[in-house]
Amino acid sequence: PEEQRTAFKPPKFMVIGHRGSGMNALSSPDGRMKAIKENSLLSFNTAAKLGVEFVEFDVQ
């Protein structure tokens, strides 16, 4: 039988957390970001609580 394929249709935009919601740079003007390191479980969980739909992370 012939397979039927449907194209992926993403929504108009998505909220993606780059490395979660944290930041490693200590020069951040937002003091809340200094307390959470990027690419950490705390950063990913915080991003989820803030309503982020996807998290991009680096495997190291």
pLDDT of 40: 83
Q: Which two tokens stand for residue 44?
A: 């990913």
Contact partners, residue 20, CB within 8 Å, separation at least 6:
36, 38, 39, 40, 42, 43, 44, 46, 47, 55, 57
**pLDDT tens for each residue of 35-52:** 777 888 888 888 888 888
pLDDT of 52: 83
Rounded distance, CA 48 to CA 56, Å?
A: 12
Rounded distance, CA 38 to CA 17, Å?
A: 10
pLDDT of 31: 67
pTM: 0.57
**pLDDT tens for each residue of 11-44:** 677 777 767 666 666 666 766 666 777 888 888 8
Ranges of each domain in the chain? 16-56
